[in-house]
Amino acid sequence: MSDPLRDPERRLGLAAAGLAVLALVAHPARAAEKKKGKASKDDFYFQEEPGEKGKRCETCVNYEPYAAGDKGSCSLVEGEVCRNCYCQGWTDKKSGKKAGG
């Protein structure tokens, strides 16, 4: 029987799995958000300024402002967002349709 670690494809797979585990351990908050099924900011072309026609987090149904300040969280993308930020997941608050809900 051959040693599985001598198989280059298997070694590559194990290395990739190890890196994924390291990434989750190194960023527990991010791991928690991944569990919630949130997307990365890059996936939705997140930017820290309003989009066209003044679209911004503050007017998006997915925005959940913190109790104080101009930052908050988003039910769609991971991490902290700001009320004047924007991404392609923007959905008019008036539509009442929240991502995943």
Interface contacts to ligand SF4, rule CB under 6 A: 44, 46, 57, 60, 62-63, 74, 76-77, 81, 85-87, 89-90
Structure-block tokens of residue 70: 């101009």
CB 47 within 8 A of CB 85: yes
Asked if residue 54 lies in contact with residue 89, where contact means CB atoms within 8 angstroms, the answer is: no
In the complex, minimum distance from the CB of residue 36 to ligand SF4, in angstroms, rounded to a whole number: 13
Tokens (6 digits) for 56: 């911004």
- How many other CB atoms are there within 10 angstroms of residue 44's CB atom? 16
Q: Which is nearer to ligand SF4, 31 or 65 (CB)?
A: 65
Cα–Cα distances (Å) from 3 to 11, 81, 87, in that order, read 11, 48, 48
Taking the complex as a whole, how short is the minimal distance between the CB of residue 51 and ligand SF4, in angstroms? 8
Give the number of C-alpha atoms closer than 13 A to the C-alpha of residue 18, restricted to the C-beta side: 6
Q: Residue 24 or 55: which CB sits closer to ligand SF4?
A: 55
Question: Cβ 34 to ligand SF4, closest distance in Å?
Answer: 16
Query: Whose Cβ is closer to ligand SF4: residue 11's or residue 71's?
Result: 71
CB of 31 to ligand SF4, least distance (A): 19
